Chains A and B, each alone.
Chain A
Amino acid sequence: MTAHVLMQALGLVFDPYVLLVIFCSAIFGLFVGCIPGLTATMATALLVPITFFMPPVPAVAAIVTATAMAIFSGDIPGALLRIPGTPASAAYTDEAYAMTLKGQAEVALGAGLVFSAIGGLFGTAVMIAFSPSLAEIALKFSSFEYFWLVVLGLAGAVFIGNSSVLKACISLLLGLLIACIGLENPAGHPRFTFGLNELMSGVELIPMMVGMFAVSELLRYVTNMDPPMKIAAEKIGNIFSGMWDLLVKYKWPLVRGSALGTIIGIQPGSGADMASWMSYAMSKKFSDEPEKFGTGHVEGIVESGAANNSSLAGAWIPAIVFGIPGDSITAIAIGVLYLKNMNPGPTIFVNNPQNIYAIFIVFILANIIMVPLGWLTVKIATKILKVPRNILMPIILLFCIVGSFAINNSAWGVVLILFFGVAAFLFEENGFPVAPAILGVVLGTMMEENFVTSMIKSDGNPWVFFTRPIAMWLAIGTIIILFWPVFTWAWGKFRGKTADSPVQTPQA
């Protein structure tokens, strides 16, 4: 049975068309990641209108490959320009740049590449090992458990790693309200449509994401007043030399970073950026030579370079098992899967296991071809970095327009990218994070459906949410996360009073 499914999955992936898609999206991802101002999430948002026209497996393959490549390739401008190519590289940009100034650009980039690939494979291995058994448990879940899972996911998105919990909360609630628009609710009543036919079926996800992640980035680019960038090293040597020694020397940081990255990825709402910041901090804490950090020391790059790539695979675990995205990239990917009628969730493991296995294979493949293609990108990096962005950005804008038009063949999509682009731009200017909003939009329908179904099943008695065995544990977990800031705040007050030391007041 399994062998048969595996053969089917191999057949799905090793098809000339799918391989071509993987290759092209790899190049695309490497290019986008390498250009500062274009993020991995933006790469996904730009790919989506094209994947819209593909069967499910190549569509997912394109997203998986492009993001893995973009997260690695974000290290390149970090090392050469001191500007992270994607936010996921920001944690160790200064470190990598310091190495470049010391004449070790090839070590920084080599470590970024090799350990990104290893981290990615680690996350993939965890995904392959755990998601089928998780799916088996998930099959037993009813609407009560799903409701808590969604709440747990959303709570994580708000409370973990955000500077302002209150603003993240608001962003999430706005996302959930956007999900309420339209006819698709348990009662089938058109809500908040303002009499517009276009809003009857709700706000389309793809134009909204293109707006929030691509158009808003363009607006940020055109209003960016940073001075022009300077390339610190024109010549880069052999990036693979000395990598084996690093691997032997830093095997534990590597494992630690990969494991932490995978866990952060699984946790909904925080993705590669958070993984790399946290593991860089952890690396410094556990290192034997923490005083070297920040002066061009490779250890932190090894650990957080592995972490940000492993988080990508981690994020897919809740996405395919429960339909709950682990970060904004998988939020987009879930939107694509729904459009393809390949609804993520545990039943997919029963009904279409070959598709899931195909996703696993794509992950392995993507992390392997990352090494030669990444090497090539580093070789020509100084040329890519010189691509004039004042020509590139307008072309991306036109691409966004066509892509959003293509979803419904109407200019309404362009209205949406304009609205959400400007909204996301203003949000970020005012310190509201955008990622919780997108999770809210993706999960809103699911949350409401499970809430209403559960309430109807229990005759309006909310206690049932706490009395079913699995639901109870999920509820406890959620409540701990929800009240965590209150605990830490109270603890800080308590300690502040006793020890009389200055206390940091939490934001919420």
Chain B
Amino acid sequence: MKFNDAISGALLLALSIAVLVAIQAFPKIPGQNIGPGAFPGLLASLLALCSLILIFRGLKERGAQKWIELGAWLQSWQHLRSFLVTVACLLFYVSLSGTLGFIICGFVVLCAMMWTLNTRPQLFIPIALVATLVIHTIFYKGLRVPLPWGVLMPIAW
């Protein structure tokens, strides 16, 4: 997904203005001319300058560069699906790992990913199960990371 430089520039300009507004609320340190806002302020000003140049260049190349150019992968359902499934897997883990626990979430993530990448179910279900258990053992037993058990708590080992 390729944006025209003018669009990227406008987004970055908005960001730098937001930073410049936010630092106005930072406290001043009495007796010193350098407060916590000075450094981010300097960076944001430079960023604003760069964004303006980028916008200018984007507008100049408007003829050659479309506003938004959808990559080939966005038009292929298979690839778009894989992208969305990857993002969804991470969101799923963030929101449900506490309740469902690592083993269930890990298994679901692996199955979803392998499914979207066209692995056969007879193959991916056992592989997902084994891989989840191996990673769980390495991190939970080996490195003592307290991976959540979630609903499997009663049978925790």
Enumerate chain A interface residues (CB-CB to B < 8 A).
50, 53, 166-167, 169-170, 173-174, 176-177, 180, 185-189, 191-192, 215, 218-219, 222-225, 388, 390-391, 393-395, 397-399, 401-402, 405-406, 409, 411, 414-415, 417-418, 421-422, 426, 429-430, 432, 448, 451-452, 455-456, 460, 508
Contact = CB atoms under 8 A, between A and B. Distances in A.
A223 B3 contact: no
Contact of A399 (B26, B33, B40, B135): B135
Contacts of B27: 187, 189
Contacts of A53: 143-144
B151 interface: no
B39 A219 contact: no
24 contacts: A166-B50, A173-B46, A177-B44, A187-B27, A189-B27, A191-B36, A191-B40, A218-B86, A222-B79, A222-B85, A222-B86, A223-B82, A390-B117, A390-B119, A394-B114, A397-B113, A401-B109, A402-B135, A405-B147, A418-B87, A421-B90, A426-B1, A430-B3, A452-B34
Nearest to B118: A390
B122 interface: no
Interface in B75-107: 76, 79-80, 82-83, 85-87, 89-91, 93-94, 97-98, 102, 106
A394 B113 contact: yes
Q: Which 8 A-B pairs have the closest CB atoms?
A: A394-B113, A390-B117, A222-B82, A187-B36, A223-B73, A189-B36, A418-B90, A406-B145
Interface string B24-57: 0011010011111011100110110011011001
Label chain A's interface by main secondary structure: helix
Contact of B34 (A177, A224, A426, A455): A455
Interface of B: 1-3, 8, 12, 19, 22-23, 26-27, 29, 32-36, 38-40, 43-44, 46-47, 50-51, 53-54, 57, 71-73, 76, 79-80, 82-83, 85-87, 89-91, 93-94, 97-98, 102, 106, 109-110, 113-114, 116-119, 123-124, 127-128, 131-132, 135, 139, 143-147
Given A170-B54, A223-B71, A418-B90, A406 B26 contact: no
A405 B131 CA distance: 17
A187 B113 CA distance: 45
Nearest to A406: B145
A223 B39 contact: no
A191 B94 contact: no
A177 B19 contact: yes
A455 B42 CA distance: 14
Given A394-B109, A430-B8, A411 B98 contact: yes
Contacts of B109: 394, 397-398, 401
A170 B51 contact: yes
Given A174-B47, A223-B79, A414-B94, 15 more contacts: A53-B144, A167-B54, A187-B35, A187-B36, A192-B22, A222-B85, A393-B113, A393-B117, A397-B86, A402-B102, A402-B106, A411-B94, A411-B98, A414-B90, A421-B90
